Structure 1
Amino acid sequence: MGAEPLPASNNNNNNDNNDDDNHSNGGEAPLVLGLQPSALIDHVARVYWSLLDQIPGERGGSIPVALEELEHLLSEVKTHILSSADESSPVKTMAGGSVANTIRGLSSGFGISCGIIGACGDDQQGQLFVTNMTSRGVNLSRMRMKKGPTAQCVCLVDEMGNRTMRPCLSSAVKLQADELTREDFKGCKWLLLRYSIFNLEVIQAAIRIAKQEGLFVSLDLASFEMVRNFREPLLQLLESGNIDLCFANEDEATELLRGEQTADPEVALEFLAKHCKWAVVTLAANGCISKHGKEVVRVPAIGESKAVDATGAGDLFASGFLYGLVKGLSLEECCKVGSCSGGSVIRSLGGEVTPENWHWMHKQMQIKGLPVPGTRSS
């Protein structure tokens, strides 16, 4: 198939969280494995509204574009940059995608051994993805490199911190369902997925093998558009009983129960908890609600209300929540860690937390009496 596996990473990350459950070397299975069929590069920029007014589609949405449109947008960005004293570069380029954001956060901010499975192209963007993820300690031995382009996305952030996305995915290389093997999942404890109708076949195959290998499965509901337009296959996934943990934001949660008399986040949480061991609904500035068994908790948001860029807030919330589960914390503590890590990423551009903001997060965790990564309680 013209695909070759990449070498495993045994790099240390930029933080000092090097306890012995930190990063796996090439020979060990990562504790948490993320499935992202197509590697993705994000180009993130803060821009004036005037640029958003020029491009087709709703502000705040995500509409696929062709490569020519993506390149045109990137050239237009340069003349519409919203200047900011604290940003060293007007456009930040980094590995992107919801699963990659969560995995990178778990690895670099929490010191949990993580890997990613998917495909990247043999181009400059593919090399960027590999360099970014390996430098954060993520094991890429399950990534396949294929001939062809790597997926890209332009993320335009307005003055209010809201983002408008234009992904270029159509011609990008992608991992196929028949390329997955049991060896890919052996020894891992968690599989992280993001719902997408375009990846449904590979998601279903991954869940099937993960369950054969005894993994827990976590699913993020992706976007309210994805839930609205492809609700039936999603309901089938949830009702299969194979999803152990589900993350939804408020819009996705209410969209899931569209047509019900009371389609509010609390009702959606109850619905998700019927099918999943853990259910979480994030409520932006209002924090989150979560349920496990009969226990329900509500935790407020942490940090300033004004976001520089909301990109990755849900992804990094998932990093913190999963860290809590891996460490055996209570449901309330898992939510609090998630709120701390979700709050850390919105303080700067893009879905990757800066070293300064990891320090901010660790301080918030200390204030709340939560176990800080890199410190051993036993």
Structure 2
Amino acid sequence: MGAGRVPKEGTPMILGLQPAALIDHVARVDWSLLSRIPGDSGGSFPVAIEELEHILSEVKTHILSSPDEPSPIRTMAGGSVANTIRGLTAGFGITCGIIGAYGDDEQGRLFVSNMSFNGVDLSRLRMKKGPTAQCVCLVDEVGNRTMRPCLSNAVKIQADELTREDFKGSKWLVLRYGIFNLEVINAAIRIAKQEGVFVSMDLASFEMVRKFKLPLLQLLESGDIDLCFANEDEASELLRGEKNADPEAALEFLAKHCQWAVVTLGAKGCIAKHGKEIVRVPAIGEAKAVDATGAGDLFASGFLYGLVKGLSLDECCRVGSCSGGSVIRSLGGEVTPENWQWMYKQIQIKGLPIPEIHK
């Protein structure tokens, strides 16, 4: 199913574009804290560094500790693309690299050590003077998350810093839609296409789709996006105002512009389309959601693993549902060693090819 060249030795098969490195501070809190911080609970709303530090200090007094989460706050490299790329290297043994920039601070060093510990190639990650982006992810009793990112003055890579050398020999580029990174996204896609690299894009959030739909439609209509992932909210936002805006209609719309289109439906699984083929795959019943952070990102890891291994559309979705199900079993967007083991078992039960890394 997947096409393209075999990457040369030492070249990552999959590249992630995350212009700004990001550190996530993930904590389980009781709802009373959520009512005391600005913005609606559930969404993602940017804050200044003072506000972020204030929330972190508040968090310490509103922690929900549980016997299976010994450490109440988990700090790790974050960002949707970093989650997907780290999942591909750590859980699936696929060679991956990340393109972006990190600051010369403690958070930057943490991002680098977390990603390199997980086997991600950092030769395309540049260090710059200035702060590294951070995000507080507050998770309530039922696993819903509220995010407060602080990105305003964070260092990031610029469009004119990308080179063809960065992309040469890789097979896929993974990116996330975002209006603030539109220039660097467009530059990366342009170079990727010159180098014959497939492009996978995630729609980021329903707020992003709602507020910046026009540039998103231009990206999709360019024909340069080969694979698009959307969740249910993003999918319905994409067709807002049409008489039929259900996930199936959104899947058809995405599939008109992309070779592969996937709409994830949370507990209801996912639907996907490639050419004329449409599949619907249920979620894994045994996955108990502690924290939904990273479910879509890790679903993408499994799906992309399936594509580079030449699995069928149905199998790609099934592996995706196993990896998406593995990350929600603990806090944050990084899968724990126990949950990778859980995932391999699920993949085995379903008769799918087990990643070499585990054999």
**Structure 2 residue 157 is matched with structure 1 residue 182:** no
Partner of 1:86: 68
What runs of 5+ residues in structure 1 fail to find an aligned partner? Answer: 1-23
Contact persistence 2:287–2:326 (CA under 8 A): no
Match of 1:214 in 2: 196
Q: Which amino acid aligns with 1:79?
A: T
> Which residue number corresponds to residue 5 of structure 1?
none
What corresponds to 2:4 in structure 1?
Answer: none
Q: Which residue number in structure 1 is paired with residue 154 of structure 2?
A: 172
Alpha-carbon RMSD across the aligned residues, in angstroms, is 1.4
- Indicate if the aligned counterparts of 2:98 and 2:120 stay in contact, CA closer than 8 A: yes
1:54 match: secondary structure? coil
Superposition deviation, residue 276 in structure 1 = 0.3
1:261 is the counterpart of 2:243: yes
1:363, distance to aligned residue in structure 2 (A): 0.3
Q: Describe the SS at the equivalent of 1:70.
A: helix
Partner of 1:337: helix, strand, or coil? helix
The one-character-per-residue Cα deviations of 1:277-327 (angstroms, maximum 9, x if unpaired) are 000000000000000000000000014364100000000000000000000
Query: 1:37, CA displacement in angstroms?
Result: 0.1
> Which secondary structure state, in structure 1, belongs to the residue aligned with residue 207 of structure 2?
helix
Matched, 1:38 2:38: no
Q: Residue 83 of structure 2: which of 98, 101, 105 is its match?
A: 101
Distance 2:204 2:288 in 1: 23
Distance 2:69 2:290 in 1: 11
Q: Deviation at 1:120? A: 0.1
CA displacement at 1:88 relative to structure 2: 2.1
Equivalent residues of 1:319, 1:338 under 8 A apart: yes
Once the two structures are superposed, residues 212-257 of structure 1 have per-residue CA deviations (whole angstroms, 9 ceiling, x without a partner) of: 0000000000000000000000000000000000000000001001
Mapped contact 1:64–1:168 kept (Cα < 8 A): yes
What SS does structure 2 have at the residue aligned with 1:89?
coil
Determine the C-alpha separation between the residues in 1 that align with 2:169 and 2:222.
Answer: 23
Tell me the CA shift for residue 376 of structure 1.
10
Quote the residue 1:17 is aligned against: none
* Aligned with 2:114 (options 127, 132, 136): 132
Take 2:348 and 2:286, find their aligned partners in 1: how far apart are those partners? 17
Query: Match of 2:127?
Result: 145
Report the Cα distance in structure 1 between the residues aligned to 2:316 and 2:287, rounded to whole angstroms: 21
Residues 1:154 and 2:136 aligned together: yes
Instruction: Name which of structure 1's ranges 337-346 and 300-309 shifts more when overlaid on structure 2.
Output: 300-309
Contact 2:287/2:328 (8 A) holds in 1: no
Q: SS where residue 315 of structure 2 aligns?
A: helix
TM-score by length of 2: 0.97
Query: How many aligned residue pairs are there?
Result: 353
CA distance in 1, matches of 2:264, 2:36: 32
Letter in 1 for 2:187: A
Q: Which moved more, 1:55-64 or 1:217-226?
A: 55-64
Tell me the SS of whatever aligns to 2:74.
Answer: strand
d(CA) in 2 for partners of 1:251 and 1:269? 13
The counterpart of 1:358, out of the listed 340, 347, 355, is: 340
Query: Letter of the aligned partner of 1:146 in structure 2?
Result: K
Pair 1:250-2:232 in alignment:
yes
Q: Distance in 1 between matches of 2:134 and 2:83?
A: 14
Q: Which residue of 2 aligns with 1:343?
A: 325
Query: CA offset at residue 56 of structure 1?
Result: 1.3
Q: Does residue 91 of structure 2 align to residue 119 of structure 1?
A: no
Alpha-carbon separation, structure 1, partners of 2:65 and 2:83: 25
**Aligned AA (2:18):** Q
Shift in Å at residue 100 of structure 1? 0.1
Equivalent residues in 2 for 1:212-361, closer than 5 Å: 212-304=194-286, 306-361=288-343
Question: Counterpart amino acid of 1:76?
Answer: E
**Is the CA contact (8 Å cut-off) linking 1:42 and 1:153 kept in structure 2?**
yes
Other-structure match for 1:13: none
Would the aligned equivalents of 1:303 and 1:340 in 2 still touch at CA under 8 Å?
Answer: no
Matched AA of 1:87: E
* Displacement over 2 Å in runs of 4+: 303-306
Structure 2: gaps spanning 5 or more residues: 1-6
Aligned residues of 1:120 and 1:174 also touching (Cα < 8 A): yes
Pair 376,43 (structure 1): closer, same or farther in 2 beyond 3 Å: closer
**d(CA) in 2 for partners of 1:138 and 1:303?**
31
What is the rounded CA distance, in whole Å, between the counterparts of 2:192 and 2:271 in structure 1? Answer: 27
Deviation at residue 28 of structure 1 after TM alignment: 1.6
The answer on whether the counterparts of 1:297 and 1:331 sit within 8 Å (CA) in structure 2 is yes
